[in-house]
A and B are shown apart, each in its own frame.
Chain A
């Protein structure tokens, strides 16, 4: 993305909507308000993975201290993008959420209110209550960015499937490992 000596100063915000269409989030991320707040916070780049959405954000190379904005639809793996991000803004899909948390990246989950039966918000809210991430709606994203204190987020300990395996083995009569 240009600028060899600015590599160490690059602070990327990675926004991902997974395989969904979440124009409301992409649109709000594209507003001057949000971009200015991200710049004020020291971020230099906003990379938007827009999935099946139809709204195209305005791309920018980020001159004069403005946020550089880039976007793409899909990639086979977002792991690299997550790894190089300083902040992740994600839709409420459990895959995205846990992939990000396992990498120890600060995360803002934005819930899509247009989805019917929005059980996804339960997961985001629960993890926010446990202080592992911030939770927002598209309209409150700016406010959340303004008020966030990333140092206050608690690291997420990866899950462990061995309790389930133990129960299954015991039920089937296998000896304990």
Chain B
């Protein structure tokens, strides 16, 4: 994700909201470091970034039964965040953290609240099979553009864009 942000023009994508799972201790820190480097390199003048955490729909290994409840919780939290932010662009890379946000962005589009473009970059670790998040977003046509990093996935999922390895 950071590699991708480094090649996007920041003045086109502002203000920026970084959302990570509540149990993720590292990602927001990486985002902060990235934003600080932008300030330091004078790419941006003031800080227009906010950092937020969201409840995860499902932890790795969590039973699917209890996941129903946690997904509802995560979706409510996501709704709250999306109403506040109402983004025009949603850029995500899974895992499940992004699903409620993407679904809500999609619903906003459908009912006309806000037109957001949803971009999903599948993990570089996914070579032959999509992640569950990727599969959902691809099959339900929720993502406007779906990026995969290995050619095998592009052959299997023709609506995806093969963009090579980002790392």
Contacts and interface: CB of A to CB of B under 8 A. Distances in A.
B65 interface: no
Nearest to B152: A126
Interface residues of B, number: 32
A92 to B, nearest CB: 8
B125 A120 contact: yes
Interface stretch (B43-51, B68-76, B100-108, B116-124): B116-124
Interface in B1-41: 3-4, 6-9, 12
Contacts of B91: 168
A167 B125 contact: no
A60 interface: no
Nearest to A93: B125
Chain B contact residues, majority secondary structure: loop
Interface residues of A, number: 25
A151 interface: no
B129 A119 contact: yes
Interface of A: 94, 98, 102, 116, 119-120, 122-123, 125-126, 158-165, 167-169, 171-172, 174, 177
Interface of B: 3-4, 6-9, 12, 61, 89, 91, 117, 119, 121, 123-129, 131, 144-145, 147, 149-150, 161, 163-167
